[in-house]
């Protein structure tokens, strides 16, 4: 975007950059909504846990504070400089002021927000009208249906607070012993922060949080019985008990705000899935039916049940195609031989000497073999699989032999069933010669039991 090209800046994404820092992946995105600028920071850790921050940027100083508090700022300096440049160019045009109106009506209008940026600015106006000066909303998704016992695998933060607070919160791993999260996972009733046992008087929630404006606060959990909870934390800079009393008097509306924010996230996830997998209205209803207890194997034999079975099979087919495309993209990035995968063949030859760095640099000679055998009529269609053999298995890296075309999530080699592969490189030693290794790849198996012979 160039300054002076247009008088008005259209809402949307202004800049996005990503960087690999050690074994963690960081993505930064600056976008413009109808109400103002928003920066999103996504941190994906080595174990797959994801932390997303959505922070408003009202002035250039907020972006500077956000970057200064980032522990990876030296590695992300180039991206932050680009964010500042795009922000200065876009901030040259004035944004129209928006009146969010009465808090009760504003809460009811949250469902119409199209992005997290719009949601953030509306929520900030509602919190300010209800006596709060700082707020953080967390969407926490766990690896099971029970939010009280599962481990958090993804957390999204809607931050209506000072930009540096969440950076410090995540960098120091305070989410691992956050007493407010523990309370929200096991309770549904709102509570002022002074009623939550912190065990120590010098707890960081009493000391560090107050320096960022969290003096008096209230915690408002919102639960959904599928491993997803929301927690609204609202604070002001008035000392207790006066500050807590102000928030407690508005607990009904704040609790409604917490539930509305959770409903918006659930609805947003469903719409994203419908768009990604091209699901129709009937398919969405079938997925909800199967999700809430109806199993295809236990459904009674009726016309409605047969319709559900047919639709569920079409859903599995559409999801398999999308999953295969994503797996192929990841595979091409990870292949040591740099071969392009496609059904039945390798686009580029794999023979010849290759240079590998595994401890000491050395060369190996690999050769390509093609194995093909027809399958019985009751088996999946026959196919050709291509693989590369390495004569020194002790020194072979784990990703050198790849590209098996497959059908119905099953892998066959020389007429023998190898197994169902779940989205990763699959290793199987050859029975003919123990010093050779075969590696095959297949699409993720969504219903392994259905395809087992």
* Comparison of pLDDT for 324 and 50, the residue scoring more: 50
The reply to whether 374 and 228 lie within a common domain is no
Residue 279 falls inside a structural domain: no
Average pLDDT over residues 243-258: 95
Q: Phi/psi of residue 168, each to 5°?
A: -65, -40
Average pLDDT over residues 133-149: 84
pLDDT of amino acid 320: 56
pLDDT of amino acid 143: 82
CATH number at residue 124: 3.30.450.80
pLDDT of amino acid 34: 77
Pairing status of strand 384-389 against strand 360-372:
antiparallel
Burial of 17 (0-12, 13-18, 19+ CB in 10 A): middle
Residue 88 falls inside a structural domain: yes
Residue 27 falls inside a structural domain: yes
The reply to whether 210 and 308 lie within a common domain is no
CA dihedral 182, 26, 48, 338 (to 10 degrees): 180
Residue 4 falls inside a structural domain: no
* Comparison of pLDDT for 260 and 299, the residue scoring more: 260
> Is the pLDDT score of 42 beyond 60?
yes
Return the structure tokens found at 381.
């269609």
The reply to whether 306 and 351 lie within a common domain is no
pLDDT of amino acid 104: 85
Longest dimension (CA), the chain: 80
- Per-residue pLDDT tens for 79-117? 999 999 999 998 877 666 666 678 888 999 999 998 899
The reply to whether 56 and 183 lie within a common domain is yes
Tell me the percentage of the chain whose pLDDT exceeds 70.
58
With H, G, I as helix, E, B as strand and everything else as coil, classify residue 138: strand
pLDDT of amino acid 262: 94
> Is the pLDDT score of 378 beyond 70?
no
Is residue 366 within 8 Å of residue 354, measured between CB atoms? yes
> Is the pLDDT score of 166 beyond 50?
yes
What's the pTM?
A: 0.64
What's the N-to-C CA distance of the chain in angstroms?
A: 57
Structural domain count of the chain: 3
* Comparison of pLDDT for 281 and 61, the residue scoring more: 61
Distance of CA 46 to the CA centre of its chain: 13
The reply to whether 296 and 350 lie within a common domain is no
> Is the pLDDT score of 338 beyond 50?
no
The reply to whether 233 and 307 lie within a common domain is no
The reply to whether 298 and 368 lie within a common domain is no
> Is the pLDDT score of 437 beyond 50?
no
The reply to whether 312 and 340 lie within a common domain is no
Going by pLDDT thresholds of 50, 70 and 90, the confidence category of residue 199 is low
The reply to whether 167 and 302 lie within a common domain is no
Is residue 227 within 8 Å of residue 264, measured between CB atoms? no
Residue 2 falls inside a structural domain: no
Return the structure tokens found at 38.
């928003």
pLDDT of amino acid 405: 35
The lowest-confidence range among 67-76, 195-204, 236-245 is 195-204
Measured between alpha carbons, how far is residue 264 from residues 84, 112, 118, 230 in Å? 30, 9, 12, 11
Residue 280 falls inside a structural domain: no
pLDDT of amino acid 325: 57
Q: Which domain holds residue 69?
A: 12-271
pLDDT of amino acid 160: 93
The reply to whether 342 and 236 lie within a common domain is no
Residue 277 falls inside a structural domain: no
List the one residue out of 32, 192, 196, 186 whose CA is nearest residue 116: 32
Return the structure tokens found at 362.
């050395």
pLDDT of amino acid 93: 73
> Is the pLDDT score of 52 beyond 90?
yes
- Per-residue pLDDT tens for 294-309? 554 445 444 445 555 5
pLDDT of amino acid 207: 83
Average pLDDT over residues 209-217: 89
The reply to whether 252 and 346 lie within a common domain is no
Residue 283 falls inside a structural domain: no
pLDDT of amino acid 205: 78
The reply to whether 185 and 57 lie within a common domain is yes
pLDDT of amino acid 314: 61
Q: Residue 216 and residue 234: Cα distance in Å, rounded?
A: 8
Which of the residue ranges 140-144, 200-204, 347-351, 401-405 has the most confident prediction, judged by mean pLDDT? 140-144
Q: CA angle 81-65-49, nearest 5°?
A: 85
């Amino acid at each position: 975007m160039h300054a002076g090209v247009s008088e008005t800046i259209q809402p949307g994404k202004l800049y996005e950059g990503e960087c690999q820092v050690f074994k963690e992946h960081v993505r930064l995105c600056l976008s413009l909504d109808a109400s103002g600028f928003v920066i999103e920071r996504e941190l994906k850790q080595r174990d797959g846990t994801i932390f997303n921050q959505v922070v408003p940027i009202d002035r250039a100083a907020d972006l500077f504070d956000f970057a200064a508090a980032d522990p990876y700022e030296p590695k992300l300096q180039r991206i932050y400089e680009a964010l500042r440049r795009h922000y200065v160019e876009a901030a040259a045009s004035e944004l129209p002021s928006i009146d969010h109106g009465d808090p009760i009506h504003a809460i009811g209008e949250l469902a119409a927000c199209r992005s997290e940026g719009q949601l953030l600015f509306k929520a900030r106006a509602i919190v300010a009208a209800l006596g709060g000066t700082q707020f953080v909303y967390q969407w926490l998704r766990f690896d099971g249906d029970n939010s009280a016992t599962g481990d958090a695998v993804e957390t999204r933060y809607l931050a209506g607070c000072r930009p540096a607070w969440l950076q410090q919160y995540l960098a120091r791993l305070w989410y691992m012993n956050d007493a407010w999260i523990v309370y929200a996972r096991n309770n549904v009733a709102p509570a002022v922060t002074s009623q939550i046992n912190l065990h120590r008087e010098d707890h960081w929630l009493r000391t560090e949080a107050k320096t960022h404006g969290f003096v008096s606060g209230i915690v408002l959990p919102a639960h959904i019985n599928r491993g997803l909870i929301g927690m609204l934390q609202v604070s002001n800079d008035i000392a207790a008990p006066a500050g807590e009393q102000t928030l407690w008097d508005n607990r009904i509306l704040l609790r409604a705000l917490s539930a509305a924010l959770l409903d918006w996230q659930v609805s947003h996830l469903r719409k994203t899935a419908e768009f990604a997998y091209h699901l129709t209205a009937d398919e969405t209803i079938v997925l909800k039916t199967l999700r809430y207890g109806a199993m295809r194997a236990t459904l009674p034999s009726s016309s409605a049940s047969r319709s559900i079975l047919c639709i569920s099979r079409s859903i599995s087919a559409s999801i398999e195609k999308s999953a295969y495309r994503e797996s192929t993209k990841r595979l091409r990035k990870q292949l040591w031989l740099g071969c392009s995968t496609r059904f039945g063949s390798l686009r580029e030859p794999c023979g010849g000497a290759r240079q590998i760095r595994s401890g000491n640099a050395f060369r190996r000679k690999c050769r390509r073999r093609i194995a093909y055998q027809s399958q019985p009529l009751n088996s999946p269609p026959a196919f050709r699989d291509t693989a590369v053999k390495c004569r020194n298995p002790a020194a072979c890296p784990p990703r050198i032999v790849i590209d098996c075309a497959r059908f119905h999530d099953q892998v066959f080699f020389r007429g023998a069933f190898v197994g169902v592969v779940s989205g990763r490189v699959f290793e199987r030693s050859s029975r003919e010669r123990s010093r050779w290794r075969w590696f095959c790849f297949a699409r993720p198996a969504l219903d392994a039991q259905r395809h087992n012979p």
